[in-house]
A and B are shown apart, each in its own frame.
Chain A
Amino acid sequence: MPGWDEWYREATRKFAHHGYAALSPNLYHRAGHGSPEDVAAKVRAAGGVADEQALGDLAGALQYLRALPASNGKVGVFGTCSGGRHAFLAACRVPGFSAVVDCWGGRVVMAPGELTPKQPVAPIDYTQDLSCPLLGIFGEEDQNPTPAHVAQLEEELKHHGKTYEFHMYAKAGHGFFYHDRPNYRQEQAVDGWRKLFAFLETHLK
């Protein structure tokens, strides 16, 4: 369950350890103060944050990082689960990103009945606007996104001639990087992180 939680803060430090200026914007900060779980639960009950609000916050984070004195002008965006969806959406809707990593982002492909006032457009429908290379990391046992959802997104990327790299891991389901959860898969996670940093090395340095 993404939120401004310990795993995300650890992951942010991991990016810093690999030499990047890393920022983990708290997309739920408007929901009030409390433990990350309590705040995320409140956001969950409210149907998530509005896509436009998340995009505004991510645009602000992009501007902040690019304004840092040591910046080379290149900024990537990374997310898992609903954060993977946000990352893909940002790479389509917010100009200026140089790379995007979508880890098992659910609801990039959405049925018409899943659209809400807060999420009015399925992210896949913005694929033609994707403005940077995309790395996608998925597990073939995932229920959301399913391999069929991933295949549908890949078709759309091909259709629009986008640069992408997808890795579908066997014997892995949703969230297999989360070392504190039963779905953690050590071998696949280690390989996924290796591919992720190789991708960033190519597009951000």
Chain B
Amino acid sequence: MCTMIVTQVGIAGCGKGTNGWFELREANVSYDHPFNAPFEHAVNIDFVNEALGPSARVAVELSVEGARTLVAAINAVLERAESGGYLEQPVPAVR
């Protein structure tokens, strides 16, 4: 926790944690020391639901190159989906 380079964004979706699927509400993106990846610093993305406590977390720790590749891939997929007319907002399922 040395750089304090971090930002939080609100998201909607689901993540699968150690106790199964849960609703995601936030993503915390930082460039700081990872817990496990073999780098001094990594792009750490924690998909969380703060209302459910610290354990509601799906974590990834990426190399800088890996993070840039992922961003490009996400954007490319979204562009293809948009150009194909698939990019509707999901309708929440009624339970």
Contact = CB atoms under 8 A, between A and B. Distances in A.
Interface stretch (B31-39, B67-75, B76-84, B86-94): B31-39
Contacts of B53: 32-34
Interface string A156-176: 000000000000000001110
A46 to B, nearest CB: 8
Contacts of A31: 54
A41 B40 contact: no
Contacts of B44: 41, 44
Interface residues of A, number: 34
A116 B4 contact: yes
Interface string B39-57: 1110010101010011101
Contacts of B32: 1, 44
Interface residues of B, number: 26
A45 B40 contact: no
A127 interface: no
B40 A37 contact: no
Contact of B35 (A37, A45, A183): A37
Contact of B54 (A34, A47, A182): A34
A37 B34 CA distance: 10
Q: DSSP majority for the A interface?
A: loop
Contact of A107 (B4, B28, B30, B41): B4
A44 B28 contact: yes
Contacts of A182: 38-39
Given A106-B3, A144-B3, A33 B35 contact: no
Interface of B: 1-4, 6, 8, 26, 28, 30, 32-35, 38-41, 44, 46, 48, 50, 53-55, 57, 59
10 contacts: A1-B1, A34-B53, A34-B55, A41-B28, A45-B28, A81-B33, A107-B2, A116-B4, A175-B40, A182-B39
Given A2-B1, A40-B35, A41-B28, 5 more contacts: A41-B44, A42-B54, A81-B2, A144-B2, A173-B40
